[in-house]
Amino acid sequence: MDAIDEIRKLVLDEQFEITVHARERMAERGVSTQDLICLIINGEIIEDYPDDFPYPSSLILGYILGYAFHVMAAKGRNLVKIVTVYRADEEKWLNHRTRKT
């Protein structure tokens, strides 16, 4: 099972925690918990950070009402922590998958 499948399974099993920071960003951007779940279930990992502490993390690209969003998710053994959620900035990203240099 690859990383996105593991994250999806934990999210579907309600084994996830949304940090205070991520909740604040979601509120600012009008993203509900259900939107977040759908984004992760249908999203794709575009960057991996295996050395992040305390858990390896991944940047997930997904869409809400046609808008590209990124979710930083850290995967522990039996829990996914949602670190932040933001709309992909076209000035910083090519096609929402690749950072501009």
Where are the chain's structural domains?
A: 3-89
How big is the chain, counted in residues? 101
Residue 96 has pLDDT above 90, yes or no: no
Would you tell me how many other CB atoms lie within 10 Å of the CB of residue 4?
A: 17
d(CA 49, CA 29): 25
* CATH, range 3-89: 3.30.2310.40
Average pLDDT taken over every residue of the chain: 93
pTM: 0.93
Tell me what pLDDT residue 90 has.
80
Mean pLDDT within 39-66: 95
Whether residue 30 has pLDDT greater than 90: yes
Nearest to 96 by CA among 74, 56, 73, 66: 66
β 98-99/44-49 pair status: unpaired
